[in-house]
Amino acid sequence: MKPFTGIVALLILLSPVALAVSAESEMEVNVNLCMFPLSPSHVKGHATFSIIAAFKVDPAGKVQNIEVNDNPFVSASLVRECISQWRIKGPKPGVKIAAMWRWKHAVGWEFLLLSWPGYTQKIVISGDHCYYCSGAGAS
Inside any domain, residue 9: no
Q: Cα(75)–Cα(46) distance, rounded to whole angstroms?
A: 19
Residue 36 lies in a domain: yes
Q: What is the DSSP string of 10-22?
A: HHHHTSHHHHTB-
Rg of the chain taking only CA atoms, in angstroms: 17
Q: Is 119 helix (H, G, I), strand (E, B) or coil?
A: strand
* pLDDT value at residue 100: 96
pLDDT of 25 reads 52
pTM: 0.73
pLDDT at 6: 33
Task: Please report the sign of the dihedral spanned by the C-alpha atoms of residue 85, residue 91, residue 92, residue 96.
Answer: negative
Task: Identify the pLDDT of residue 134.
Answer: 54
Whether 15 maps to a domain, the answer reads: no
Supply the pLDDT for residue 32. Answer: 86
Domains: count for the chain: 1
Q: How many residues does the chain have?
A: 139
Q: Is 17 within a domain? A: no
Asked if residue 67 belongs to a domain, the reply is yes
pLDDT tens readout for residues 96-127: 999 999 998 888 889 999 999 999 999 998 87
Query: What does pLDDT average to over the chain?
Result: 78
Residue 44 located in a structural domain = yes
What local confidence, expressed as pLDDT, does residue 82 receive? 95
Q: How many H helices and E strands in the chain?
A: 4, 7
Ranges under pLDDT 70 in the chain: 1-25, 128-139
Residue 114 resides in a domain = yes
55 in a domain, yes or no? yes
| Domain ranges, residue 95 | 22-134
